[in-house]
Structure 1
Amino acid sequence: MSMRHAIYFAPLPGTLLHALGSRWLGRDAFTGEALEQPSTAGLAAVTGEPRRYGFHATMKPPFALRDTAHPESLLRALAALAAEERCFRVSLKVALLDRFLALVPRGPCEPLHRIADRAVRELDGFRAPPSADELARRRSAGLTERQERHLADWGYPYVFEDFRFHMTLTERLPAAEVERFEAAASEHFAPVLSAPVLIDGLALFEEPSPGAAFLATRHFPFPHSAAEVAV
């Protein structure tokens, strides 16, 4: 399989959210640098998969380019999408989603859903169809009828009504470990949970080969700043 691309929200280097998220996972997705993680026992073992993907929230999930698509065209389309959006702020909390921990908005956030919906629809012409193995892996999680339609139409089941903005912090946890890791995450991220964080652009991440670590290769800022707090 060829290189895969993904459209994520990822806080920029120099921001506190980027620093805290990168250190929690043990890797900076913008530089590829390995980082020392907090001293929480067992943290390295439960962050292996999130570490590979980098600290982010998925807006359009990883996809290979179709044969007729050109990377430069994808960059132009992504820049055009970002140019039409506005910056806004969102309050986050640590939450348990399907047995994994993540940072999620404290309440409904229409701008995040709108941007994710646009990314899925407007950039879908660049996406190659998923492989049979990828389809089987998605279906193994157990999909609803609607999620099955999303998978067939958009290559990913958790879009539109099934989209939930989240910044993954762990793999799925044993029930006995949830409370301990949730407390550690709440303490570690406390400085960014006390005030809304800025959503200010989209990032292009790339997986150079199957199983390789994703790297943030380009950032596309939202040019129109706003003081709006969406959540």
Structure 2
Amino acid sequence: MRYAIGFTPSVCDPLTYAAADWLGRNPYSDALCEQPHVAGFSTAEFAFLTAVPRRFGFHGVLRPLFRLADGMTEADLLYALMRFTSELSPFSIGRLSVQLKDSCFMLAPAGASAEVNALAAMILQRFEPFRAMLSDAEIERRDPDRLSAAQFANLLRWGDPFVLDDYRFHMMVTGPVPAPSQLRMATALQTFFEPFCLAPLEINSLALFVEAGAGAPMRVHSQHPLGKLPAHRVRPRTAAPIEDGHLPAPVGETRVALAMRALVPAR
């Protein structure tokens, strides 16, 4: 069993539904979704190109996957995460846009966000006592010969090479796409996600993800709003107006947050 901490839109956010359709899986329910037909790609080819982010679920990583250290329990982790999120306040980062890195497409803000970078660093340090040290086999699986000296040092110290100065917030929407297909994929992604990326993204919660076993799909275990719940007010995101000119109705996200926190064992 491994855990990760990240950001994903709320269970009722239009972007959550859109990403679940695109990737073919909803990380909240683990339900499979029918993927869209994308011009220039067969059904099988499109499923293959989205297989990696489908397993990880739509989210931006803040604390990469880790096993619990000896003596630590899931209840301990949940309690610490609840305390941590209650100390924070929601904040916005820039509008998301489709970007390409290492042949993979992602949704990411155009520029670096000092606030989200600081949040990732805080989470890394605050939850380090919960992380079990990597085994030699786990280190080798990260292909350390391809890492820079700083990235290799991060791998040994923090369990992941792409943290601190090497961290960049992003939400993956494809795995590696061959160069001849990248323009078609970029066009399809822009058309599909643009209506959901018209406003700056608000980081208003953290989600605990769980991986039940090696290679298993990651799912949302629980979601934790930032700030004290009585004062928490979520402004529901909406997609662009639909054809008849109406917007999707707002959803009671605070009630959803309260219900999800109720799943956490009391201490």
Same fold by TM (over 0.5)? Answer: yes
Choose from 149, 154, 160 the match for 2:153. 149
Residue 175 of structure 2 is matched in structure 1 by: 171
Secondary structure in structure 1 of the residue aligned to 2:174: coil
Higher mean C-alpha displacement, 115-124 vs 129-138: 129-138
1:209 deviates by: 1.3
Q: Is 1:76 the counterpart of 2:79 in the alignment?
A: yes
1:54 deviates by: 0.6
Conserved 8 A contact 1:87-1:226: no
Give the greater-gyration-radius structure (CA): 2
User: Structure 1-normalised TM-score?
Assistant: 0.93
Residues in 1 aligned to 2:234 and 2:117: alpha-carbon distance in whole angstroms: 18
Q: Is 1:124 the counterpart of 2:128 in the alignment?
A: yes
Choose from 189, 192, 195 the match for 2:196. 192
Residues 226 and 217 (structure 1), Cα distance of their counterparts in 2 relative to 1, 3 Å cut:
closer
Which letter maps to 1:178? Q
Residue 10 of structure 1 is matched in structure 2 by: 8
Residue 57 of structure 2 is matched in structure 1 by: 54
1:89 deviates by: 2.3
Residues in 2 aligned to 1:68 and 1:45: alpha-carbon distance in whole angstroms: 39
Residue 103 of structure 2 is matched in structure 1 by: 99
Residues in 2 aligned to 1:120 and 1:141: alpha-carbon distance in whole angstroms: 24
Q: Is 1:86 the counterpart of 2:84 in the alignment?
A: no
Residues in 2 aligned to 1:37 and 1:61: alpha-carbon distance in whole angstroms: 27
Residues 201 and 45 (structure 1), Cα distance of their counterparts in 2 relative to 1, 3 Å cut:
same
Unmatched 5+ stretches in structure 1: none
Higher mean C-alpha displacement, 109-118 vs 85-94: 85-94
Q: Is 1:30 the counterpart of 2:25 in the alignment?
A: no
Percent identity between the two aligned chains: 35
Conserved 8 A contact 1:124-1:154: yes
Which letter maps to 1:190? E
1:198 deviates by: 2.0
- Deviation string 1:80-135 (CA, Å, 9 cap, x unpaired) is 22112221223111100111000011212111111111111100101011222221
Which letter maps to 2:206? L
Answer 1 or 2: higher relative contact order, Cα 8 Å, separation at least 6.
1
Secondary structure in structure 2 of the residue aligned to 1:169: strand
Give aligned pairs, total: 225
Residues in 1 aligned to 2:102 and 2:145: alpha-carbon distance in whole angstroms: 11
Secondary structure in structure 1 of the residue aligned to 2:77: helix
1:225 deviates by: 5.7
Residues in 2 aligned to 1:103 and 1:133: alpha-carbon distance in whole angstroms: 31
1:178 deviates by: 0.9
Conserved 8 A contact 2:210-2:220: yes
Conserved 8 A contact 2:112-2:168: no
